Amino acid sequence: MIHVEHPGLLTTIQDLGRTGFQHLGLSPGGAMDPDAARIANLLVGNAPDAALLEITLLGPRLILETGAWIALTGADLTATLDGAPLPTWRPLWAPAGARIGFGGPRRGCRAFLAVDGGLDVPQVLGSRSTDSRSALGGLAGRPLHAGDCLPLGTAHRPPPQHPDRPAWSRWWVTHMADIPINHPVHLRFIPDTDWAALPEHEQQGLAGNRYRISSQCDRMGLRLSGPALSLPDGPERLSAGVTFGTIQLPPDGQPIVLGPERQTTGGYPVLGTVARIDWPRLGQLRPGDAVGFTPITVDAAHALMRDRERDIARLATGLSLRWPLNARTFTA
């Protein structure tokens, strides 16, 4: 069991999403940085889609009732374990009674905390993800509150030799080098039909660093702030399906990039869709960050994702060979 002393700014239970229900108007949701979530789970021996915590900017204060293997990936939110810096991107044993806290955000926006066995909340339509707009999943379909108790699933890994003190591996995953979240961020996207109608100088502006993430951003979408874009008048558009990364252009000319808790359809013009390879970058953007867009082809996007999935599959195999971990593997 994990006890929540303080919930942080926005901490929710997430997995990889609730797929197969968009035709009923239900967004898939899921982790804003799905790769960081998958790797956190792999580090503690969970299935990649196990439920874990998504922590936004200002993290919670948590107490572990029992000892457990944990892993923290994603943004650097100055995490601590019993007041000392908490090593990230590696498996870590947190003994019973350990307190996990967070300071200010140094880099990125969202961190992911996985626990061996996963968070054992009920599945709703095949997922444990919190959809706060529909009040589904997680804990009563809402972010964490102070006083919450998070049940844990059955652990897969044995404790270390000395379970009464913290221990962690000397090695770590260098995932951040492959998916940088330094700034400005350039997002690769697949152009849609409305992109071609955008004046050339406005296309070039989107490719530069003239736009920033506004304060109007959440898991539903990120509104950009910069020079207003315009499209020539045309016939009224019918609503069409949208997805994570869809770049919409509302009447005020400030683009919106949709997130995992988006609506399932929209009638605004669509300039394109951020390629799946860059969802981690998109999920780590925070207000004030500069962002630019680079068009790529569908074939190029597919090739990039094949490489990413191959790398994560290799990582999963390598991590499975690291267990069981012994005392020589750890430092405290």
pLDDT of 133-156, one tens digit each? 889 999 999 999 999 999 999 998
pLDDT (tens digit, 9 = 90+) per residue, 72-103? 999 999 999 999 999 999 999 999 999 999 99
Rounded CA separation 224/220 (Å): 13
Nearest in space to 190 (alpha carbons), one of 244, 226, 265, 262:
244
Residue 329, burial from CB neighbour count under 10 angstroms (0-12, 13-18, 19+): middle
Rounded CA separation 83/146 (Å): 20
- Let me know whether 90 and 150 are in one domain: yes
DSSP 18-84: --S-GGGT------SSHHHHHHHHHHTT--TT--EEEEESS--EEEESS-EEEEEEEEE--EEETTE
Residues pairing with 10 in the sheet:
56
Residues pairing with 110 in the sheet:
56
- Let me know whether 173 and 45 are in one domain: yes
Above 60 in pLDDT, residue 177?
no
pLDDT (tens digit, 9 = 90+) per residue, 8-49? 999 999 999 999 988 888 999 999 999 999 999 999 999 999
- Let me know whether 241 and 227 are in one domain: yes
Task: Check residue 180 and give its pLDDT.
Answer: 55
- Let me know whether 27 and 163 are in one domain: yes
Q: What angle do CA 243, 248, 253 make, to 5 degrees?
A: 165
Q: How confident is the model at residue 109 (pLDDT cuts 50, 70, 90)?
A: very high
Q: What angle do CA 8, 243, 236 make, to 5 degrees?
A: 125
Task: Check residue 321 and give its pLDDT.
Answer: 84
Q: What angle do CA 260, 251, 208 make, to 5 degrees?
A: 70
What CATH number has the domain bearing residue 245? Answer: 2.40.100.10
Is 303 among the domain residues?
A: no
Q: How confident is the model at residue 112 (pLDDT cuts 50, 70, 90)?
A: very high
- Let me know whether 25 and 133 are in one domain: yes
Q: Which two tokens stand for residue 205?
A: 């502006």
Domain count for the chain: 2
Q: Is the peptide bond before 324 cis (omega within 30 degrees of 0)?
A: yes
Above 60 in pLDDT, residue 176?
no
- Let me know whether 165 and 288 are in one domain: no
pLDDT (tens digit, 9 = 90+) per residue, 186-202? 899 999 988 988 888 88
Task: Check residue 175 and give its pLDDT.
Answer: 62
Determine how β-strand 270-274 pairs with β-strand 240-241: unpaired
Determine contact, residues 105/77, Cβ cutoff 8 Å: yes
pLDDT (tens digit, 9 = 90+) per residue, 263-290? 888 888 999 999 999 999 999 999 999 9
- Let me know whether 323 and 175 are in one domain: yes
The domain in which residue 43 lies consists of: 2-180+311-331
- Let me know whether 32 and 174 are in one domain: yes
State the greatest distance between any 2 C-alpha atoms of the chain, in Å, as a whole number: 69
